Homo-oligomer: A and B are copies of this chain.
């Protein structure tokens, strides 16, 4: 054993966890921060800025892309990556649901 038993959970639980997992690595947080802070958002810059090889950066970008957290469009012989606002809003809504449904205070159990 060792594989995540994803088939034993609901689609919603899997989808939410995939979103969070995609941001569960410091390199991918650094990528998000760099995209936010830079005026352009071309991958070449990332390779210069991050302490990782070009192959590894490309792999992290792929993971962010497959979770729909970033999206890219071709620009000449480089790729422009930007954040996907819809996915960020989904994060916000998931967290808000958690906060709104929080029942700790009314149970006085912690």
User: For residue A35, which residues in chain B have a CB less than 8 angstroms away from its CB?
Assistant: 103
A51 (CB) vs chain B CBs: closest residue: B8
User: What is the oligomeric copy number?
Assistant: 2
| The residue from B71, B92, B96 contacting A110, defined by CB atoms under 8 A apart | B71
Please measure, in the bound complex, the distance between the C-alpha atom of A24 and the C-alpha atom of B33, giving whole angstroms. Answer: 20
* A66: Cβ under 8 A from any B Cβ: no
Q: Decide if A6 touches B32 in the complex (CB within 8 Å).
A: no
Q: Decide if A95 touches B98 in the complex (CB within 8 Å).
A: no
Please measure, in the bound complex, the distance between the C-alpha atom of A80 and the C-alpha atom of B110, giving whole angstroms. Answer: 7
* A73: Cβ under 8 A from any B Cβ: yes
- A11-37 CB contact bits vs B (8 Å, 1 = yes)? 001101110111111111110110111
* A48: Cβ under 8 A from any B Cβ: no
Give 7 nearest A-B pairs by CB, closest first: A21-B24, A9-B26, A8-B51, A82-B110, A20-B23, A82-B104, A36-B101
